[in-house]
Structure 1
Amino acid sequence: MHRALLPAGWPRPKGYANGIAAEGRMVFTAGVIGWTKDEVFEADDFAGQFDQALTNIVAILAEAGAGPEHIVRMTCYVTDIDAYRTGLKEIGAAWRARLGKVFPTMAVIGVSALVEERAKVEIEVTAVVPQAGTG
């Protein structure tokens, strides 16, 4: 079970949570990039790679019996912060398609490069799966 933390008088953030209190079994992903399970980039655009990275994250979480609803923390490393900003409509569509109305704590960090040269985004998540009987 987890709940978003919103201090009194603070405006509700759009697309993320200021903090989350959670209890349960923790699941962590490595940095996940936007290539397929066969390590092939099918998209060279930012939004396409973001969508594939989210697809990959959902598959990894499923291996631990977790789903998007269990994500409490996300860190996105992006090689082009302007591509992130200008692609928010497409990113939002990918988010809704893959994660639904999940809004974890989140950080987006601009970096000069990622290990895989064609990668434009790398995403890490932490999920917390409630223990049986706790919701």
Structure 2
Amino acid sequence: MVFIDTPNAPKPGGHYSQAVVHGDVIYISGILPITPSGEKLTNATYTEQTEQILKNLDAILLAAGSTREKVLKVTVYIADMNAWGTVNQVYRQFFGDHRPARSVVPVLPLHYGFGIELEAVAIN
């Protein structure tokens, strides 16, 4: 088992790892719209929050020896389902032709007032 800790994504805010690699499987913890330097994008648009989360996902995947094309499953937690079209558009642009399994879970509220959180499972 390998615990991922890259400076190219925000540091965990609690007692967990950015991701855990076990065999060929990568379990990626919930990712919030926080920059690697720690700036919380709570007042950013859903587009900006989603873009930051996906940048963080790329950085964690790279640190784990993987890529977005190897993501198997994504869970998206969203505070406002009215923003889903926007989030889905950014998500679709990020993944392109790759279509991992996905769940979308409406929740209220999210940590620190964020609008979105994402977790994923990938392979090496």
TM interval, shorter chain, is: 0.7 to 0.9
Distance, in Å, in 2 between the alignment partners of 1:94 and 1:124 is 13
> Given that residues 51 and 95 in structure 1 are in contact (C-alpha distance below 8 angstroms), is that contact kept between their aligned partners in structure 2?
no
Question: Which structure has the higher relative contact order (CA within 8 Å, separation 6+)?
Answer: 1
The alignment covers a number of residue pairs equal to 101
Residue matched to 2:72: 72
The runs of 4+ residues in structure 1 deviating greater than 6 Å are: none
Q: CA deviation at 1:44?
A: 1.2
Distance, in Å, in 2 between the alignment partners of 1:93 and 1:124 is 16
Normalised by the length of structure 1, the TM-score is: 0.67
RMSD between aligned alpha carbons? 1.8
Match of 2:122 among 119, 127, 132: 127
> Once structures 1 and 2 are overlaid, which stretch shifts more, 35-44 or 52-61?
35-44
Structure 2 SS opposite 1:41: coil
The answer as to 2:29 corresponding to 1:30 is yes
Structure 2 SS opposite 1:51: helix
Q: CA deviation at 1:41?
A: 3.4
CA deviation map 1:18-48 (0-9, x unaligned): xxxxxx7000111001121112135611111
Paired residues for 1:10-49 under 5 Å: 25-42=24-41, 44-49=44-49
CA deviation map 1:54-95 (0-9, x unaligned): 11001001111100011000000001011113x25xx42454
Distance, in Å, in 2 between the alignment partners of 1:94 and 1:52 is 11
CA deviation map 1:71-122 (0-9, x unaligned): 000000001011113x25xx424542x33322100011110111222x1100
Residue segments in structure 1 that go unaligned for 5+ positions in a row = 1-23, 130-135
Residue segments in structure 2 that go unaligned for 5+ positions in a row = 1-22
